[in-house]
Structure 1
């Protein structure tokens, strides 16, 4: 037989590969768990034609012997008549059948795996029956997590049973389960909890990747760091870090709030009457939206002179339309040409809240008017320009 003909005849290995491929989809285990009636599996075989007996007799014989029943105890082989006047009539394999599940498990070598899957189903059916439909539909995902399944199940049971006030994930009390385990298995726990919990136990507005928020656990609070710029210390402190949700009013006598990007500039910020300075820290300025009292004070932002600096200003101004900026203009940028660096990943989004001067500088940065990805960091701006800007504000 020429080499190109061999692949046309179905080998035992090809049949086994086909069955393994279907096993890997989980379909056989799903049928088992669903208690579906077993339907014998029929697989037609591609084999030699009549003319092959005379032309390639040895190859036909070898192929037929590869399907000897003694070598395939878990298959039933059905034959067809093949031949004619020249070669005589012969029986050759035509199709194979798998008549029961146990034969399929033995053929695939998965009998112990099936038993373990059934054990997991049994234990879950007793303690968390709501999970059973998912386990039936996704048996291979269950087996992939076989080692962790008891802890996953216990975690879900604890959460579904808990009825007290909101707690932190750290307070979830299951043997062998800690916050690292939950983070490592966050995706599967999210999927399973969505099958088990009532709708009112799930925050549909929270993204699925935020496990704590989605399942109504307490989250790490946002903190804000601020300095009093002169005047009387607050309870003896000139600088404090406070929880954003508890920062419900300005310190006594404060009428102006400065929001600054850079920590060193924040620490060196000049004294100003009736003022505090908050370290904004990039897009962390969004935390300021939790402080409604900022609507009632003068709010001044100063950030890096790059595209993201303007995007942060735009975001702050969307929450507080009265926000002013200082030193975020073309003249400040050009005065420090020797201090420019590269902005790694500039943004090009439209920013609708910028003033004409701000928009002029932003558009020039986006368009590359000054060069490719130009950036002037806040700490590189000469300090006397800050003092001048503050004097102008006063």
Structure 2
């Protein structure tokens, strides 16, 4: 063993601090358990080490002199005494016998006092939470500056059994939507502990407080544009997906695309409506079941994210056809190639064989690394020869 491996007082303090930071000692105290003395073994010099490195061994032993460590009990043993070697007494273990010694040693007395104060106060105002506090003392300390607002918010959830409201309508002093969103993690844990089981929608994640605890969620919207003569006073509308329960009158074809200017630039087309997908919000289309009975097209960027979105749309509507997302389009617009900075890792399971081969070529860098052809870089004139604008005999349904 080298002298660098001998346990120093700093090593022990670090070990004790890791134990303290786990919260186990505050938890035990809050749960009424007696303090169990802490034992930390010391790695020190052997008899051979003492003989070879006497001055360093002496220096190490003196660093463990009892008067240097009034809050530790130091256990020793005698080494040597064989074959005419001198005997020496060295420390082999330290003990911390009380919680007071531990917090004094680690200078965490203020932390301990604060936790015990919060625990005692909460036991009076909201005793249902004390069990959770005792199990998670370090989380309580982290939340200490706003602890009262947290338990007041939990109390509001527990007592509010009227009609659902939005987060914005939670009426707690000094609590607003920003506060709730900033502390949704710990609020989720407290609410799971405090609310009756029938008030918790366990299928929703804890960080979605509205869905998990019965509040109103922000509605999903879809933006649509009639490419035919408008059936009413508006050529374009944004509506809640929950209210778009049927295809717009006269619509037999829907084109979903991502780029807003491209969406606005599509040419007039009888019986056709364009939907703005806005990236991965295309997954919202699953709330429009009537799309299953519509001639449905999806047009996105030619990159891994574009094919991932196409796959998502097609997972809900298998009859979806892609528009200008093919190898011919890619190679015909080489001057407009760009770079996809971060390729998605999502495996696109719902592509045709031709789409899947192109997607793999993009991943492999067959033409160039991280190749991307953005939708907005394809001339609108190319649209006239694709999808619903092309001769119907030239279109093909995707492979099953």
Is TM > 0.5 for Structure 1 vs Structure 2? yes
Distance 2:241 2:355 in 1: 29
Worse-superposed segment, 263-272 or 338-347: 338-347
In the TM superposition, residue 337 of structure 1 has moved relative to its aligned partner by 2.0
Length-normalised TM-score, structure 1:
0.80
In the TM superposition, residue 290 of structure 1 has moved relative to its aligned partner by 0.3
In the TM superposition, residue 75 of structure 1 has moved relative to its aligned partner by 6.3
Q: Name the structure 1 match of 2:24.
A: 27
In the TM superposition, residue 392 of structure 1 has moved relative to its aligned partner by 1.8
Q: Name the structure 1 match of 2:157.
A: 159
Distance 1:61 1:229 in 2: 87
Q: Equivalent of 2:244, from 247, 257, 267?
A: 247
Q: Name the structure 1 match of 2:123.
A: 125
Q: Equivalent of 1:312, from 306, 309, 313?
A: 309
Distance 2:80 2:61 in 1: 15
The secondary structure found in structure 1 opposite 2:145 is coil
List runs of 5+ in structure 2 lacking aligned partners: 394-400
Q: Name the structure 2 match of 1:214.
A: 212
Q: Name the structure 2 match of 1:324.
A: 321
Length-normalised TM-score, structure 2:
0.79
Kept in 2: contact 1:64–1:93 (CA 8 A): no
* Structure-2 change in CA distance of 1:174 and 1:333 (3 Å): same
Kept in 1: contact 2:3–2:45 (CA 8 A): no
In the TM superposition, residue 327 of structure 1 has moved relative to its aligned partner by 2.4
* Structure-2 change in CA distance of 1:76 and 1:381 (3 Å): closer
The secondary structure found in structure 1 opposite 2:165 is coil
Q: Name the structure 2 match of 1:283.
A: 280
Distance 1:47 1:303 in 2: 67
Distance 2:287 2:340 in 1: 29
Are 1:227 and 2:206 an aligned pair? Answer: no
List runs of 5+ in structure 1 lacking aligned partners: none
In the TM superposition, residue 240 of structure 1 has moved relative to its aligned partner by 0.8
Which one has a bigger Cα radius of gyration? 1
Are 1:386 and 2:383 an aligned pair? Answer: yes
* Structure-2 change in CA distance of 1:222 and 1:78 (3 Å): closer
1:31-77 deviation digits (Å, cap 9, x = unpaired): 2212223455677889999998xx989x97996798566x7766678
Distance 1:49 1:339 in 2: 73
Kept in 1: contact 2:254–2:297 (CA 8 A): yes
Worse-superposed segment, 178-187 or 207-216: 207-216
- What are the residue-to-residue correspondences of 1:1-394 with 2, within 5 Å? 19-39=16-36, 67=65, 100-234=98-232, 236-347=233-344, 351-389=348-386, 390-393=389-392
RMSD: 3.9
1:178-234 deviation digits (Å, cap 9, x = unpaired): 222222222222222222222222222223333332333222221111111132343
The secondary structure found in structure 1 opposite 2:205 is coil
